[in-house]
A and B are shown apart, each in its own frame.
Chain A
């Protein structure tokens, strides 16, 4: 990875000072059967890790966090804590909740800076497991499988591991080096990383199946789907994830122009919009087809985007991209029903300025890859799994984004990590049964 695009600026959340940590870690009540712990999808023992910070055992604190959540350093930065642990803190009605996310960052930052060895591989079982995809779910599954003693190989199409954590979240929320450190922890357990390998294209599914006793598909999702409107192939139209990847890795070239239109209302749309501002666009507007209350972006993300100078136009759909000399020259939009049904109001077309259009309307599904493994999926293309994350094919498990319902609230890094952990347990049970 090259350095992040310098114009994107420093991380927005500053780490806690040592004094803040001491006060905050000692303010915690260390609740029993704590609501924060129950609210964490990975079940991090929050009172325990905070108590260990308070007593000066940072190694024990980091181990508590990372044991429950193999991507706990990333989650410390990107979890919607106000909706999870901090939202459940018993202090909420009367005073500010404990800053659990920031304390988690403090402990994991310590682990990163001190090169702490947190875990060791299990006694070898001789079983070989393939994990397809090195995003949060794949890393979590691989990490726990290695701790259980299995021989794990991760196949990753990108040059670096980490998935969306490395490539798809703006660096001022999550620097790539955090996700890369988490991947390094997995590698240190003896997991083999085969990056630059696209299973189903450069490596056949049958080969993967033939060489392993079990497979975990943690393949995430694909490109942003097409809008299906005229002008979509013009220069200056971006897939939001490709745009964020280019901006984050420093390979973005060319100009966004003065006015950027972002299509969509999720957290990726927010990231694309704020990154556009930071790359110099003077006017950035997010267009969303329903009312603001239906946007899937977190409220604090919407508030952050407003602070960054992003405009919002809701109940609006793009209908045509104007093109001049092969490049975006404007955007035609139509109004939708203010009641939020997203149905287009007649004769509501109007033209707005746009030098670039960034599309963030969700992601397509890897149906072909699931087909290649013979894995059943639902009508929206999500892999169908049982409670142990096993698919219809015995020995083939799935986890992460490829198992999430579209538009669901579970599409979080922390939830992907949890499903990766569950899949690892499922694989382990399957391998023991098979033995």
Chain B
């Protein structure tokens, strides 16, 4: 069995699967259950000097067809329990599971005194690291905390420096995706001395409006405000931001990936794009802590089948392949081929190509025959293979000679 252990900026973990700072890490009871199930680490629900007050209701789900909770939105704030209670429970969890890192997520007022005080008090228990919550997009941002800080690179750098002045354990800065270019704040965190970054926090969102009542969803006594969006539907956004930071020379610090990770396959993708650990929340809220067993076994089996001895061998391997559009080979050419044997004649490929792509799939006059690709006009866009419900029925086949590379950058001599 492959070695699943990882090391994020000095925080060692028996596997890369951490619980994100969120409702599943609200209490010692939950974190104990999570560690018993096999989670490698946990980022505690964000601590503050004083507990906040939450509203009812707090969550809402986005369904896609019969699939529940492809996305989720929340307006819950950070911990609503006293700091001392949380610290006692952290100490108990560490005593029971000394090999599992517990990261304390922190948020407080934007003064050095306040941050120093919070770090000092939390370090009275054996936490393995801090994660600075610069990302919470709702509620706390209206008080000048969370995303209000995380959207300003100067504040990110400043606060990171304050925390580093006081902290004795590694400091991770959690980034908000609600910015124009996440690399700006990632670089600021690095300048401030952060040991790692984690991303993404949730996206600004409103999940829906009730068609009967015309109230926003979820509502609190008839009103709502924007919340934080997460779940499988945000994965592509998160993966892009992780990859952008991973290949940016100005960032250059380890990454804990977050955003829509639901199974071991997602985890492998985030690690290939540069994540050392991955953090999970929504999938646990959907299915419970037990999913980590499938993630551990799935990752382990995958590594074994590929002959890899360690999960660490995955980290960042795809990053060199993630480049600017200007560096893509304009001579590379693929076309779609439809296998008439496995085609079930649903004609989804035909109508997709006809209406939304390049009109290069023809239907024979006999509707019992499979559609045929006009390869001379196919641009290799993949759309037909995406809408095809049959695995491997439509394959994309390389048709260029494979011996020439021309990029847009070369063509226009765009400086890199």
Binding site for B on A (CB under 8 A): 22-23, 26-27, 29-35, 38, 54, 90-91, 93-94
Extra 7 A-B pairs, beta carbons < 8 Å, given A23-B66, A26-B66, A31-B345: A22-B66, A31-B347, A32-B351, A33-B363, A35-B367, A38-B367, A94-B344
Chain B: CB-nearest residue to A21: B66
A54–B64 alpha-carbon span in the complex (Å) = 10
Is there an interface contact between A90 and B345, defined as CB atoms closer than 8 Å? Answer: yes
A27–B65 alpha-carbon span in the complex (Å) = 9
Which B residues touch A34, using CB under 8 A?
Answer: 346-347
CB-CB contacts of B334-373 with A at 8 A, as 1s and 0s? 0000000000111110110000000000010001000000
Chain A: CB-nearest residue to B389: A29
Which A residues touch B347, using CB under 8 A?
Answer: 31-34
A23–B63 alpha-carbon span in the complex (Å) = 12
A54–B66 alpha-carbon span in the complex (Å) = 9
Closest chain A CB from B357 CB (angstroms): 14
Is there an interface contact between A29 and B367, defined as CB atoms closer than 8 Å? Answer: no
Partner of B348, one of A22, A29, A54: A29
Chain B: CB-nearest residue to A38: B367
A35–B344 alpha-carbon span in the complex (Å) = 10
A-B contact pairs, 8 of them (CB 8 A): A23-B66, A26-B65, A31-B346, A31-B347, A32-B351, A34-B346, A54-B65, A90-B346
Chain A: CB-nearest residue to B387: A29
Which B residues touch A31, using CB under 8 A?
Answer: 345-348
Chain A: CB-nearest residue to B351: A32
Closest chain A CB from B373 CB (angstroms): 16
CB-CB contacts of B158-175 with A at 8 A, as 1s and 0s? 000000000000000000
Closest chain B CB from A86 CB (angstroms): 14
Closest chain A CB from B372 CB (angstroms): 15
Chain B: CB-nearest residue to A24: B66
Most chain A beta-carbon neighbours within 10 Å: one of B344, B351, B363, B367:
B344
Partner of A91, one of B66, B67, B344, B350: B344
Chain B: CB-nearest residue to A27: B66
Which A residues touch B66, using CB under 8 A?
Answer: 22-23, 26-27
With contact pairs A33-B367, A35-B367, A38-B367 given, residues A93 and B65 touching in the complex (Cβ less than 8 Å): no
A189–B347 alpha-carbon span in the complex (Å) = 38
Chain A: CB-nearest residue to B354: A32
Is there an interface contact between A29 and B346, defined as CB atoms closer than 8 Å? Answer: yes
Which B residues touch A35, using CB under 8 A?
Answer: 345, 367
CB-CB contacts of B51-74 with A at 8 A, as 1s and 0s? 000000000000001110000000
Closest chain B CB from A47 CB (angstroms): 10
Chain B: CB-nearest residue to A92: B344
Which A residues touch B351, using CB under 8 A?
Answer: 32
Which B residues touch A54, using CB under 8 A?
Answer: 65
Please name the 9 residue pairs, one residue from A and one from B, whose CB atoms are nearest each other, closest first.
A26-B65, A32-B351, A32-B347, A26-B66, A90-B344, A31-B346, A90-B346, A23-B66, A29-B346
Which B residues touch A90, using CB under 8 A?
Answer: 344-346
A23–B65 alpha-carbon span in the complex (Å) = 8
Closest chain B CB from A98 CB (angstroms): 11
Which A residues touch B65, using CB under 8 A?
Answer: 26, 54
A38–B363 alpha-carbon span in the complex (Å) = 16
Most chain B beta-carbon neighbours within 10 Å: one of A23, A32, A54:
A32
Which A residues touch B363, using CB under 8 A?
Answer: 33
Is there an interface contact between B350 and A93, defined as CB atoms closer than 8 Å? Answer: no
Which A residues touch B67, using CB under 8 A?
Answer: 26
Is there an interface contact between B350 and A32, defined as CB atoms closer than 8 Å? Answer: yes
Closest chain A CB from B353 CB (angstroms): 11
Closest chain A CB from B213 CB (angstroms): 15
Most chain B beta-carbon neighbours within 10 Å: one of A31, A34, A91, A93:
A31
Which B residues touch A22, using CB under 8 A?
Answer: 66
Closest chain B CB from A369 CB (angstroms): 40
Is there an interface contact between B348 and A32, defined as CB atoms closer than 8 Å? Answer: yes
A33–B65 alpha-carbon span in the complex (Å) = 22
A212–B350 alpha-carbon span in the complex (Å) = 49
Is there an interface contact between B346 and A93, defined as CB atoms closer than 8 Å? Answer: no
A90–B363 alpha-carbon span in the complex (Å) = 16
A315–B66 alpha-carbon span in the complex (Å) = 51
Chain A: CB-nearest residue to B344: A90
Chain A: CB-nearest residue to B343: A90
Closest chain B CB from A244 CB (angstroms): 39
A90–B348 alpha-carbon span in the complex (Å) = 11
Which B residues touch A38, using CB under 8 A?
Answer: 367
Which A residues touch B367, using CB under 8 A?
Answer: 33, 35, 38
A32–B355 alpha-carbon span in the complex (Å) = 12
A33–B346 alpha-carbon span in the complex (Å) = 8
A35–B363 alpha-carbon span in the complex (Å) = 14
Closest chain A CB from B67 CB (angstroms): 8
A94–B348 alpha-carbon span in the complex (Å) = 17
A30–B347 alpha-carbon span in the complex (Å) = 9
A90–B350 alpha-carbon span in the complex (Å) = 15
Which B residues touch A32, using CB under 8 A?
Answer: 346-348, 350-351
Chain B: CB-nearest residue to A19: B66
Closest chain B CB from A408 CB (angstroms): 23
Which A residues touch B350, using CB under 8 A?
Answer: 32
A91–B346 alpha-carbon span in the complex (Å) = 9
Which B residues touch A23, using CB under 8 A?
Answer: 66
Which A residues touch B389, using CB under 8 A?
Answer: 29
Is there an interface contact between A93 and B344, defined as CB atoms closer than 8 Å? Answer: yes
Closest chain B CB from A127 CB (angstroms): 38
Which B residues touch A93, using CB under 8 A?
Answer: 344
Chain A: CB-nearest residue to B66: A26
A35–B67 alpha-carbon span in the complex (Å) = 26
A288–B367 alpha-carbon span in the complex (Å) = 39
Which B residues touch A91, using CB under 8 A?
Answer: 344
Most chain A beta-carbon neighbours within 10 Å: one of B345, B350, B351:
B345
